[in-house]
Amino acid sequence: MLKSSKRVVMLGDCQSFYASVEKAEHPQYKDRPMVVAGDPERRSGIVLAACPIAKSKGITTAERLGEAVAKCPDLVVIKPRMQRYIDVSMLITDIYKSYTDLVEPYSIDEQFLDVTGSMHLFADTPEEMAQIIQAHVQAATGVYTRFGIAETKILAKTACDNYAKKNSSGIYTLTKEMLPETLWKRPVSDMFMSGSRMTRHFNVMGLPTIGSVAQTPLGKLKQMMRRKFGKNSDIQAEMYWRIANGIDDSPVRPGTHQVAPKSVGHMMTLPFDYREFDHILTPLLEL
């Protein structure tokens, strides 16, 4: 449990978001494998989202619809409705805002909540608070949410991606004290902001785990990175060192749609080549 003097930050993530919205609105498909995919009439479309049942049959996001149907002949294929997903995302923001005014949308299906000041109104513990919000979103939208809980945004995101998404309650608290026994043991590829290129560099530098980055003194890490990237890499070195150590003072900023740095790989698979401005606008706004 987090100590009372610390901030209580949550990252709420929607499971299989587009597919979950469609399932909620098509209850007849509740127990069927379903994907949201561009142009269901043609096999050349791309899978944008797969429900958990479809995923259990080996279907993955961004694969070709024809391949998905081959794996699972009774697959239900639904055409994407971006505007509807944006509306539901905003409805979920409103639900979060009934628990705290500090809600920051991070992507269409992920939002940060700072509940430090309001938790006592709703629950005794952060985990209980997350359960209440999870049940509220489920009842209102049919979407299942997972919550990473921590003192900082980066640790909340880490708690969600690496732990909450994989446990049965969908809720996980990660404290700084737990880092050596949990996150630090993981490969550096699991570190927030470490893409495949940076992961390779860390491995070459002899830093294969998140803990090995965290425990390298900052000055030494800067030197090691300068040898590879020149002296302009000091800022990058400090950023990775802070991430590995769970150091992050950035506040949850209500109303901001944070533009993720390039290396996070913020992308969206589109159902077809967009040529009209109106078509392009919706996914652009989403990103």
If phi over 0 gives left and psi between -120 and 50 gives alpha, with beta otherwise, what is residue 51?
Answer: beta
Q: Which is nearer to Mg ion, 2 or 160 (CB)?
A: 160
114 binds Mg ion (CB under 5 A): no
| Contact present, 66 and 43 (Cβ < 8 Å) | yes
Contact stretch for Mg ion (CB under 5 A) within 60-68, 102-110, 128-136, 189-197: 102-110
Q: Which is nearer to Mg ion, 160 or 224 (CB)?
A: 160
104 binds Mg ion (CB under 5 A): no
Return the residue nearest Mg ion (CB atom). Answer: 109
Q: Which is nearer to Mg ion, 13 or 114 (CB)?
A: 13
What residue has token string 């425990």?
Answer: 215
Contact stretch for Mg ion (CB under 5 A) within 7-15, 27-35, 134-142, 244-252: 7-15
Q: Which is nearer to Mg ion, 34 or 69 (CB)?
A: 34
Strand order through the sheet with 145-150: 103-107, 110-114, 9-14, 145-150, 171-173
What residue has token string 């990237």?
Answer: 229
* # binding residues, Mg ion (CB under 5 A): 2
Q: How far is the CB of 224 from Mg ion (least distance, A)?
A: 34
Q: Which of 66, 82, 83 is nearest to 269 (CA)?
A: 82
Pairing of strands 171-173, 145-150: parallel
Number of helical (H) and strand (E) elements in the chain, helices listed first: 12, 8
Catalytic site includes residue 110: yes
Q: How far is the CB of 165 from Mg ion (least distance, A)?
A: 8
Residue of 22, 110, 238, 276 with catalytic role: 110
C-alpha distances in Å from residue 278, one per residue of 5, 82, 89, 261, 284 = 48, 12, 20, 26, 10
Q: How far is the CB of 155 from Mg ion (least distance, A)?
A: 18
| Sign of the torsion formed by the C-alpha atoms of 192, 195, 200 and 204 | negative
Q: Which is nearer to Mg ion, 109 or 248 (CB)?
A: 109
Q: Which is nearer to Mg ion, 145 or 233 (CB)?
A: 145
| Sign of the torsion formed by the C-alpha atoms of 23, 26, 29 and 31 | positive
Q: How far is the CB of 260 from Mg ion (least distance, A)?
A: 14
Among 33, 48, 53, 109, binds Mg ion (CB under 5 A): 109
13 binds Mg ion (CB under 5 A): yes
Q: How far is the CB of 16 from Mg ion (least distance, A)?
A: 7
Q: How far is the CB of 223 from Mg ion (least distance, A)?
A: 38
Q: Which of 54, 64, 69, 65 is nearest to 15 (CA)?
A: 54
Residues 197-236 that bind Mg ion (CB under 5 A): none
* Residues tagged active-site: 110
Q: Which residues contact Mg ion by CB under 5 A?
A: 13, 109
